[in-house]
């Protein structure tokens, strides 16, 4: 129940303006299901229900879903649901949403239209607009207080900002005005999410339970009821009440046996069942397995291939392998919850080493990975630049050659096993070494190893076990650091939540870690625990680089620079001892630091690919530093642990690039390329479709971006002259990250090492941004991205970063990048506006009736570069 809520005069006025409808729904425990407007016509409702069901089926059913939504929109043009459905399922994917958005904006401001039509248009424009849409959503509710979608939009936006109380209040209003089973399902699901976030699980359950028993004509239909029952069971499973959990177990098992769930909903329920009830004995693994198998049978019986019964079968193979095999090994969830996935090429890369070496899968995987790497990670002869990786590849090639010479030989010998394992461990490929050992043990069991006696077999087994142990020991160090980092995060969250006294974590985990020195001691202790015999007795801590009150980092190595020499840290060219050396020997790059206001010391551990020195200048400003090319994090930094994708970071006299994160961006390009394929008509439509025609005051809108980044991607990939889209290389995308980080190094060269004059410059810079840490961080990211916009080989790739930030304007971010990029994009669009107004714009002809953001992909790259250079000249 919502406590202490009063009916204010404003509330009373709202009640009056909707015809005296009672706001008795002030409690989330019950709903009046008040309907001041007529229900949606049954014909439109049923047709749209078919569209929604087909969309859930996916695959070949999507075309039918879109056709049905178009028919529903024609049957009831004033109903919001079909239009928002088409926005997402048709126009967003086809990159034709700007024109539709422009129509909504125009209709919302057309005073000749009825208030209800303007409210509908205001909502549809507002829901697309992220932060920029808040005013339009409020206007929609003002124009038509009975429009449930308007209240839903206000609530969802409030929830996205973290204002849960406003989200709940608005979600309740939406429920009051549900006109259709689809609306009731959608609104109640959202409200239950808000309540659960507010730790009101019981109220959330009651909202869903009431929706399931709603009267006609808004009573949920079969598929809608299945979705609501699945969500209700999930909440019950999370409850602290034993009775709720038991009820949730029964409900989840029943729902899993139906055909109406999506694969994601099945996954969610299975994980919920296994997260607690299995351990408490409330449900057995076999019961879950039975329910999932019955669900697959239901899908087949219902002739619903779109639900992908094959995916459900694969779900069984991955999630419940132990049950199917007749005996659990580790009680885990298989690959779906394994910590750390090989980012070189997914788990398939690791699995290649589990196969017999003679089959060549491991060599093929490594050679394919090498070809994909940026040039900086390769030597002039095309091999790996890093000696340890070069040695590994040489060993694998030698093994392959030996196999070719004697094709009838057994798959793996003791000598082969030890040579390859030594090369893997030396390179720091511990998961691959463990896979190799496990594959060798399987080969031994299958009788496919080179052995002639029991003694040789025992020697082989002993070697494989030793390799397993060495690999696990190395992984234990990395896992220990990950646990340490999470412990620091948990303690800081405990402190920032306003708790007093000692955190329970401190007594269980062994005390606080508040300083960089304590973090180093903990890490060295981990090495002593697992590598005591290999750890030099005189191990010392690496030098710490201090940046005044802003923070400090442990010197990341690998060697001391001229600056280090001048500042007395160590002799130029000598290896950095301590932490840097320990991780370097593991094939890792370690960044340990403590920044002001960042919640305690932090650790980032990445898998090293190559190290190089770089120097040059950007926009007339010099930079110099060491670049660490990495591929995946064993221990993500604090931002990464919070869910951010960190592709690179500047540090000391250099920066790192994480190619694993760059691959995520490459995957996005590839998905877009696959979506459009060779459909030249669809590509042309996306690129040439009109932008949003809006009043002049909206011309510089940054949000909503409505696919602006993807339109620019299509243009870049389509410049082959062959009528098709070319794939983007990892090197092209990594180049953008590198130039951005070099922009940070340009600032560093201007401000560090600290001197009286440079301190004054820093104070002036901080003062210009109100001495606020968050705004200073954003300003630094803006400056670095301006360098990327001006200096990248193709500046459009850096512009895409800005457009993606605008696309996700409502999603929030734990890093300063997103807000910085949106601000920078806004400034660039304002500059474009000023140049256009004054006649100084000398670029491609633009349409002044449309937003600039919808036309950026039509501007040639050098003209975009020029716009950024002019902005940089005014700032840097």
Sheet of strand 648-651, all strands in order from the earlier edge strand to the far edge: 544-546, 551-554, 588-595, 602-618, 621-635, 654-658, 648-651
- Asked whether residue 161 carries a pLDDT value surpassing 60, the answer given is yes
Q: What is the pLDDT of residues 362-371, one digit of tens each?
A: 899 999 999 9
Which position has the higher pLDDT, 496 or 743? 743
What is the per-residue pLDDT across 3-58, written as a single tens digit (0 to 9) for each?
333 333 333 333 333 333 332 233 334 444 444 568 999 999 999 999 999 998 88
Residue 69 · residue 86 · CB < 8 Å: yes
pLDDT of 10 reads: 34
Residue 740: CB atoms within 10 A of its CB come to 26
Distances (CA, A) of 669 to 341, 663, 686, 722: 21, 10, 15, 18
Q: For 688-698, what is each residue's pLDDT tens digit?
A: 988 999 989 99
> Which segment, 474-488, 764-778, 851-865, is predicted with the most confidence on average?
851-865
Q: What is the pLDDT of residue 116?
A: 95
| pLDDT tens sequence across 521-580 | 888 888 888 876 666 665 656 788 887 666 788 998 899 988 888 888 889 999 998 889
Question: pLDDT band at 351, cuts 50/70/90?
Answer: confident
What is the Cα–Cα distance from 144 to 19, expressed in whole angstroms?
Answer: 12
d(C-alpha 492, C-alpha 585), whole Å = 31
- What is the torsional sign of CA 291, 224, 232, 247? negative
CB 799 within 8 A of CB 792: no
C-alpha 839 chain-centroid distance = 42
Which one-letter DSSP state was computed for residue 855?
A: T
Cis amide leading into 465 (omega within 30): no
Residue 635 bridge partners (DSSP): 605
More confident of the two residues 346 and 651: 651
The predicted pLDDT at position 317 comes to 55
pLDDT of residue 501 exceeding 70, the answer is no
pLDDT in tens, 771-793: 776 778 888 899 999 999 999 99
pTM score of the predicted model = 0.83
Can you tell me the distance from the alpha carbon of 39 to that of 786, in angstroms, rounded to the nearest whole number? Answer: 53
Give dist(CA 794, CA 864) in Å, integer: 10
- For residue 721, the model assigns a pLDDT of 62
Q: Does the pLDDT value for residue 709 go beyond 90? A: yes
Rounded mean pLDDT of the chain? 83
The structure tokens 């909206």 sit at 698
The set of residues, in sequence order, having a beta carbon less than 8 Å from that of 517 and lying 6+ positions away, is 541
Please compute the mean of the pLDDT values over residues 59-78 and round it to a whole number. Answer: 93
CA distances from 529 to 193, 535, 586 (A): 44, 10, 16
CA-closest candidate to residue 515, choices 600, 592, 591, 597: 600
Instruction: Please tell me the distance from the alpha carbon of residue 250 to that of residue 708, in angstroms, as a whole number.
Output: 47
**Arithmetic mean of pLDDT, 621-650:** 89
Q: Residue 722: is its pLDDT beyond 60? A: yes
Confidence band (pLDDT; 50, 70, 90) for 312?
A: low
Dihedral, CA atoms, 186, 188, 191, 197, nearest 10 degrees?
A: -100
More confident residue, 548 or 606: 606
Q: Is 544 helix (H, G, I), strand (E, B) or coil?
A: strand
Measured between its terminal Cα atoms, the distance across the chain in Å is 55
- pLDDT at residue 326 is higher than 50: no
Which candidate, 821, 816, 790, places its Cα nearest to that of 804? 821
Q: Distances from the Cα of 549 to the Cαs of 594, 770, 792, 870, in angstroms?
A: 10, 16, 33, 33
Residue identified by tokens 């909440």 is 235
Q: What is the mean pLDDT of residues 296-303?
A: 77
Say if residue 824's pLDDT is above 90.
yes
Residue 632, H or E segment: strand 621-635
Q: Inform me whether the pLDDT recorded for 353 exceeds 70.
A: yes
Check: CB of residue 512 under 8 Å from CB of residue 488. no
CA 481 to chain CA centroid, Å, is 22
- The owner of tokens 């980080």 is 741
**217: preceding bond cis by omega (within 30 degrees):** yes
CA–CA distance, 347 with 520 (Å, rounded to integer)? 31
Task: Give the Cβ contact number of residue 865 at 10 Å.
Answer: 20
Residue tagged 């716009």 (tokens): 867
pLDDT digits (tens, 9 = 90+) for 837-862: 999 999 999 999 999 999 999 999 99
């Amino acid at each position: 129940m919502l406590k202490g809520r009063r009916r204010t005069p404003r509330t009373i006025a709202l009640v009056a303006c909707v015809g005296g409808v009672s706001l008795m729904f002030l409690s989330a425990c019950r709903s009046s299901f008040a309907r001041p407007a007529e229900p949606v016509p049954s014909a439109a409702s049923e047709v749209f229900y078919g569209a929604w069901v087909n969309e859930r089926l996916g695959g070949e059913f999507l075309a039918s879903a879109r056709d049905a939504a178009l028919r529903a929109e024609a049957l009831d043009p004033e109903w919001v649901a079909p239009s928002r459905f088409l926005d997402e399922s048709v126009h967003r994917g086809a990159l034709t949403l700007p024109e539709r958005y422009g129509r909504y904006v125009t209709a919302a401001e057309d005073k000749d239209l009825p208030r209800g039509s303007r409210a509908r248009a205001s909502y549809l424009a507002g829901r697309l607009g992220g932060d920029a849409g808040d005013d339009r959503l409020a206007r929609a509710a003002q124009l038509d207080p009975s429009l449930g979608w308007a209240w839903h939009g206000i609530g969802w936006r409030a929830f996205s900002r973290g204002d849960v109380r406003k989200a709940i209040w608005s979600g309740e209003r939406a429920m009051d005005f549900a006109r259709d089973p689809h609306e009731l399902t959608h609104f109640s699901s959202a409200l239950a999410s808000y309540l659960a976030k507010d730790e009101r699980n019981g109220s959330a359950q009651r909202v869903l339970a009431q929706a399931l028993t709603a009267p006609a004509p808004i009573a949920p239909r079969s598929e809608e009821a299945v979705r609501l029952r699945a969500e209700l069971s999930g909440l019950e499973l999370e409850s602290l009440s034993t009775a709720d959990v038991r009820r949730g177990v029964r409900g989840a098992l029943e729902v899993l046996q139906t055909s109406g769930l999506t694969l994601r909903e099945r996954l969610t329920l299975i994980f919920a069942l296994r997260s607690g009830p299995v351990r408490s004995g409330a449900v057995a693994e076999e019961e879950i397995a039975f329910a999932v198998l019955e669900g697959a049978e239901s899908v087949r019986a219902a002739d619903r291939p779109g639900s992908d019964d094959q995916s459900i079968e694969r779900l069984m193979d991955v999630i419940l392998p132990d049950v199917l095999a007749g005996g659990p090994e580790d009680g885990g969830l298989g690959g779906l919850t394994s910590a750390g996935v090989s980012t070189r090429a997914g788990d398939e890369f690791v699995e290649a080493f589990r196969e017999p070496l003679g089959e060549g899968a491991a060599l093929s995987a490594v050679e394919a990975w090498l070809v994909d790497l940026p040039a900086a990670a390769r030597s002039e002869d095309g091999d790996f630049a890093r000696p340890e990786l070069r040695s590994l590849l040489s060993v694998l090639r030698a093994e392959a050659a030996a196999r070719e010479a004697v094709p009838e030989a057994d798959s793996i010998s003791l000598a082969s096993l030890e040579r390859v394992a030594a090369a893997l461990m030396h390179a720091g490929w511990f998961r691959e070494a463990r896979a190799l050992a496990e594959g060798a043990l399987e080969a031994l069991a299958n009788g496919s190893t080179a052995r002639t006696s029991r003694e040789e077999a025992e020697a082989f087994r002993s070697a494989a076990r030793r390799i397993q142990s060495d690999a696990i020991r190395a992984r234990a160090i990395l896992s220990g650091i990950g646990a340490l980092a999470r412990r620091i995060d948990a303690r800081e969250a405990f402190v920032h939540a306003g708790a007093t006294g000692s955190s329970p974590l401190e007594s269980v985990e062994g005390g606080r870690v508040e300083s960089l020195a304590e973090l180093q001691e903990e890490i060295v202790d981990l090495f002593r625990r697992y590598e005591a015999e290999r750890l030099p007795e005189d191990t010392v801590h690496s030098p710490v680089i201090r940046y005044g009150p802003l923070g400090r980092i442990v010197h990341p190595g690998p060697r001391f620079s001229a600056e280090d020499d001048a500042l007395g840290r160590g002799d130029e060219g000598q290896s950095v001892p301590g932490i840097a050396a320990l991780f370097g020997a593991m094939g890792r790059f370690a960044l340990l630091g403590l920044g002001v206001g960042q919640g305690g010391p932090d650790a980032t551990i990445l898998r090293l690919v190559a190290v190089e020195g770089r120097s040059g200048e950007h926009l007339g400003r010099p930079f110099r530093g060491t670049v660490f090319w990495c591929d995946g994090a064993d221990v993500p930094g604090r931002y990464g642990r919070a869910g951010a994708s960190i592709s690179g970071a500047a540090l000391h006299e250099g920066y790192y690039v994480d190619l694993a994160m760059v691959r995520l961006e490459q995957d996005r390009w590839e998905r877009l390329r696959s979506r459009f394929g060779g459909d030249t008509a669809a590509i042309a439509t996306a690129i040439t479709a009109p932008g949003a025609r809006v009043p002049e005051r909206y011309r510089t809108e940054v949000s909503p971006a409505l696919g602006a980044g993807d339109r620019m991607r299509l243009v870049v990939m389509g410049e082959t002259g062959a009528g098709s889209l070319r794939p983007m290389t990892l090197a092209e995308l990594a180049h953008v990250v590198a130039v951005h980080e070099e922009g940070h190094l340009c600032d560093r060269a201007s401000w560090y090492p600290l001197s009286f004059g440079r301190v004054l410059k820093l104070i002036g810079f901080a003062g210009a941004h109100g001495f606020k840490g968050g705004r200073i961080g954003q300003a630094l990211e803006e400056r670095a991205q301006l360098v990327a916009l001006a200096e990248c080989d193709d500046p459009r790739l850096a512009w895409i970063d800005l457009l993606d930030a605008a696309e996700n304007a409502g999603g929030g971010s734990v890093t300063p990048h997103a807000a910085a990029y949106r601000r920078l994009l806004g400034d660039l669009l304002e500059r474009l506006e000023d140049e256009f107004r004054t006649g100084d714009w000398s670029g491609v002809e633009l349409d002044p009736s449309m937003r600039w953001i919808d036309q950026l992909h039509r501007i040639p790259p050098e003209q975009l570069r020029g716009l950024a250079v002019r902005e940089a000249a005014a700032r840097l």
